[in-house]
Amino acid sequence: MRLTKQTGYAIRILTAAARTPDVNVKIADFADELGITKQNALKIVNQMVHAGFIAATRGRSGGIMLALPADQIRIGDVVRAMEVTVVAVAGEAVAPARRRQSAGTAQPSLNGVFDDALEAFIAVLDQHTVADMAASRPAGPAGRSGMAKRPGKARKLPRVRSAVMVAAAVRRARASDAG
């Protein structure tokens, strides 16, 4: 199964936010870190706010942070919130209750087979949390989010949240609390 880039960015934003708990981080910082436009980051964050994964604060000292503890946000839930998780093959009747068998036959329907495959895929993702992802990725410039360049393909890699960016976010949060 292929996930959209937005889902990958959503998981990376949640992972980076998990590394800076209790600190409001600017959406522009995430956009810069991921190498995407601020508008695209806003769209992704808006979907995650509606799903209940992120809490957003408006204003000069605003930003985003996790709305739930990182160990309670399952990757499968993020995929369900960001992706279309219904499979419908053209020419196949859509079963009202996601039945595996076509009506009156012993043959499984094509939609049923794809629904089963999708459920199995997401069941594996449900075994992992944002906290697992945050702990598995090394921080710092050497980590580069664990992704390596493929030979022959020039590709911009997302930056991992640097200590400088974290320190700046903490300073902004402290300045807003003091003032």
What does pLDDT average to in each consecutive run of 10 residues of the chain (179 residues)?
88 91 87 91 94 91 90 93 73 53 59 83 91 73 36 44 56 67
The predicted structure's pLDDT at residue 98: 47
Query: How many Å apart are CA 37 and CA 122, to the nearest integer?
Result: 28
Alpha carbon 37 to its chain centroid, in Å, reads 16
The predicted structure's pLDDT at residue 167: 56
Q: How far is CA 146 from CA 78, 91, 138, 141, 163, in A?
A: 20, 42, 7, 10, 17
- Grouping H, G, I as helix, E, B as strand and the rest as coil, residue 29 is helix
- Return the bridge partners of 57, or none: 63
Prediction pTM value: 0.66
Q: How far is CA 143 from CA 18, 132, 155, 164, in A?
A: 17, 16, 16, 15
